[in-house]
Amino acid sequence: MDLYQSMITGTSQRVDVPDLNFLQLIVIVKSVLKAIYLYKKENPLDILQYFPLRSTNIKETPQIVYLFARKVSVFSQVLINIFRRESLCLERSIITCAALRSVGIEAQVIIGSRASANSSTNYLYHSWIEVLNKPINDVDGVKQYFNEIHRFPMEVNNEKSESSF
């Protein structure tokens, strides 16, 4: 039993998550570099229009999609740390969302405002990514600390997004 997977999925059943293949790695690197370039030139909220959702062969259970998205997110964060170490949450979220969309994962960037004045966070606003309505690059409890004020892109398939695991 994989403890990490059981904490994420809530079951003791092992889930076989496909590895990133060489072509996917190249696509992710290209997407991250393109998004970093566009972030400096364009309106940040318009960047994801350059990254249409691609078709994918990951048409499995929500657990597999979510865990595969975590792999893509981790690899994207490594690249962001190499090329844009000083970037804040919005830039990181947009760039990682672009990478997820480039490999066919329906991801959305969420911008939230601090839920209460006595919240433990130092920032008034925060940004994160959701896949299947679950945070992918932040703690699961982020929704308790921040109220959602904007979500983009909007064309995510709601039938898939409402599935839970």
- Are the C-beta atoms of 83 and 32 separated by less than 8 Å? yes
**Count of alpha carbons within 13 angstroms of residue 36, beta-carbon side:** 17
- Which pLDDT does position 14 carry in this prediction? 80
Please state, in angstroms and rounded to a whole number, the distance separating the CA atoms of residues 88 and 1: 35
Order across the sheet with 134-135: list the strands: 134-135, 125-131, 107-114, 146-152
User: Is 60 exceeded by the pLDDT of residue 162?
Assistant: no
**Where are the domains positioned within the chain?**
3-155
Least confident of 12-16, 41-45, 110-114, 149-153: 12-16
Q: How far is CA 144 from CA 7, 140, 165, in A?
A: 19, 9, 19
The two tokens of residue 110 are 């969420």
b/e map 55-79, b = 16+ CB within 10 Å: eeeeeeebbbbbbbbbbbbebbbeb
H or E stretch at 36: helix 22-41
User: Is 80 exceeded by the pLDDT of residue 163?
Assistant: no
Please state, in angstroms and rounded to a whole number, the distance separating the CA atoms of residues 39 and 99: 14
pLDDT tens per residue across span 51-108: 988 877 666 788 889 999 999 999 999 999 999 989 899 999 999 999 999 999 999 9
pLDDT tens per residue across span 136-155: 999 888 888 899 999 999 86
